Amino acid sequence: MRIQTFLSFGVLFATGASVLTGCLPEPAFPNEPEIALVSFDLQLNGSRELIIQFSDGDGDLGLSQGDTVAPFCATCEFHQNLHCDYQEWRNEEWFEITLDPNAGQIPFYYRVPVAEPTGQNPALNGTISVDMPTWHLSSIYDSVRFRITLFDRSLNASNEIFTPALLKP
C-alpha cells in the first residue's frame, strides 16, 4: 500500500510537471542580435579559437552561399557578417587598424552561415566558433584585442564585445 501511494504521487507529480512546463512561454529575444564572449583560447597549433554566444529574436541570422547580391556581394561591407576589428595598444590607448583587402590585407571578418530555428518560434540562440589561424599583425606593439560585432540579414548590428587584451607571441 505504501509503495502504491508513492507511485501514485509520482505519476501525479510527473503529470503536473509536464502540464506546467507545456505552458511555459517560449524564449523572447530582441530582433537585433546579442552576443557575449565565451572564450578566445590559444590552440596547440598557435591559432586562436573565438567562441561567442548569440541570440536573435526574429531568426534572420546568418548568410547562405546564395546571398551574393547587394548588400552581401563580395565587394560589399556586409559580405561577411561577423566583424572582428583588430586593435593594438599604442601610446596608452587602443588604436584600431583598418585592413584594406584592395591592398592585399585580409580583415578579420567571417561569414557565419544561416542558423535555422527549430519549431514555430523564430528566435535563435547558440554559439559560434571561429578558428583564427592568424590573430595578430607584425608591428612594434605587443598587445592586441578585437572588437566584435555580428550583423543579421536585416543589417541589424549586435552589441559590441571585446576580447581580453593579449600579448603577441
Q: Is residue 123 part of a domain?
A: yes
**Residue 127 structural domain:** 28-167
Distances (CA, A) of 142 to 99, 138, 162: 18, 9, 17
pLDDT at 23: 53
* Any domain includes 160: yes
Asked whether residue 3 is domain-assigned, the answer is no
Residue 17 within any structural domain of the chain = no
| The total number of structural domains that make up the chain | 1
Domain-located, residue 21 = no
Whether 63 is covered by a domain: the verdict is yes
pTM: 0.81
Do the domain assignments include residue 108? yes
- Is 121 among the domain residues? yes
Q: Say which residue, 127 or 31, is predicted with more confidence.
A: 127
**What is the mean pLDDT of the segment spanning 44-71?**
94
Of the pLDDT bands very low, low, confident and very high (cuts 50, 70, 90), residue 148 is very high
